[in-house]
Amino acid sequence: MFKDLRDYLYFLEKKKMIIHINYELSPYLEIPEFARRAILSRKPTVVFDRVKGFPEWKMISNIFRDLETIKMILGVEKLEMIGERIISFLEKSPPKDFIDKIKEFVDVLEMRRYIPKKISSGDFEKNRFEKGFDKVPIPKIWPGDGGRYITYGLVITKDPLREIYNMGVYRVQVIDNERGAIHWFIHKRAAYSMRNYLVKGIRRIPVAVVVGVDPVTMLVSAFPVPYPIDKYFFASMIRGESLEIVDLGDLEVPAHAEVVFKGYVYPDQLVEEGPFGDHRGYYDTISKVPLFKLEETFYRDNPYYYFTVVGQPYMEDTWIGKSVERIFLPFIRFIFPEIVDINLPPEGLFTGGIAIVSIRKYYPGQAKKVMLGLWGLGLFSLVKIIIVVDEDINIHDLGQVLYAIATTVDPSRDIVIVENAPTDELDFVSRERGLGSKLGIDATRKLPEENYGRKWPDKIEPDPEISKKIDELIKRLGI
């Protein structure tokens, strides 16, 4: 497991999976455009060694360039293994005798390995200045953006009711040297914590924005981990060892970060945020979000600044989204055992757009039961369109999915429309920001109860004996 970002960069250097750019480029549009081209062409991680106006800094992008790289970072052959490992803890039977009690005790000890470990000081505490947004090469990504943006900052908050940590990737717009605007959506965990602060009458919320940690913790920050699971604890589980953290007074933060912006969010003081070129390939409109007031900036010697370019697929967030799909599939199967597989196509914009689901169907109405259940499950509630097919359909082959829709769907019977439901706040076609409609398509073969009392026709298949004979002939002919 990698201790920090530098440890991972050293690993990439040895593997010759890194590109150094020694030509001086500006963090305003130039470096992001180079990074965007590198991401689209599936180039290795890019390090910009000469950042115009910031001679002390280097900038990095494109760590999560494909699923194979993410598997390498996580140390697994299949991403589903991550979720399966965690589910195994939940599936253990209650102890029945002494031996089972011993096993349970061992399991508890195993879980203790993942408690975040507090250490005395962090690497970033060597350098500090007040305020400081202007002293860091925070880039402007797209020409129409409202300003400079922290695009892969780990926004850290502590829930005041349950005392658990949240760590999410929310975009942060820099307004000036000491003010920012954090766009944490109303459906995300940070907004949930903010509401809990308001319940307690607290209107000055401690927040840290952390840039540049080990790649596993960076990934976990983007994962939709259900509340109230502590994100530090979850990151430790995925890492396979405790995440080291340090106490900065109001908050504990990852000890080996490159940069830490420490300050407060004032939910009663709203500021304009945007426009911002987001993953839909369009500029998100200006909205009002709570003010983030920066108090202190900390950074390591010879610091690295990590950023990502957000835009129409396929960007880095494409591969992060696909890794989320694979890692959390075992959790979804745990809740809905009839689900075989899920595909959140990058072009469908993941939980902001289209999901394709295959199921083992046993009873009438089961496809609708699954789609309605998924619309009530965490960030799956934001999916706009769900298509449900039978288990023999390869949902990663869009041709097979279209064939299933064409041959099984009677629109008046198999289409579900739900109005006034939660949607992705970035979906500009919805009726209101965060409120729109859903479309469900039942593209499964229908049981007689669903098919107006008629038996579903038999699927055409070749004669098995003839098929076997032709198989042998083709093999002999070497065709």
Query: How many Å from the N-terminal Cα to the C-terminal Cα in the chain?
Result: 48
CA of 180: how far to CAs of 129, 193, 208, 381, 465, in Å? 17, 19, 12, 29, 71
* Tokens encoding 466: 């003839």
The answer for residues whose C-beta is within 8 angstroms of residue 223's C-beta and 6 or more apart is 234, 324, 327, 328
List C-alpha distances in Å: 388 to 117, 283, 363, 444: 43, 31, 14, 7
How many CB atoms lie under 10 A from the CB of residue 184?
23
Catalytic-role residue among 145, 278, 341, 414: 278
Q: Which residue, among 300, 19, 317, 269, has the nearest Cα to 151 in the 3D structure?
A: 317
Which value, to the nearest 10 degrees, does the dihedral of the CA atoms of residues 317, 318, 322, 328 take? 30
φ, ψ at 80 (rounded to 5°): -60, -25
Determine whether 97 is an active site residue.
no
- Strand intervals (E) in 124-258: 127-130, 149-150, 154-158, 165-169, 172-174, 179-182, 205-211, 244-247, 252-254
Closest CA to 157 of 75, 54, 243, 227: 227
Structure tokens at 132: 């400081």
User: 251 in helix, strand or coil?
Assistant: coil
Structure tokens that stand for 59 in this block? 């900038």
User: E strands along 274-364, which residues?
Assistant: 276-277, 283-284, 287-299, 304-306, 339-343, 354-359
List active site positions: 278
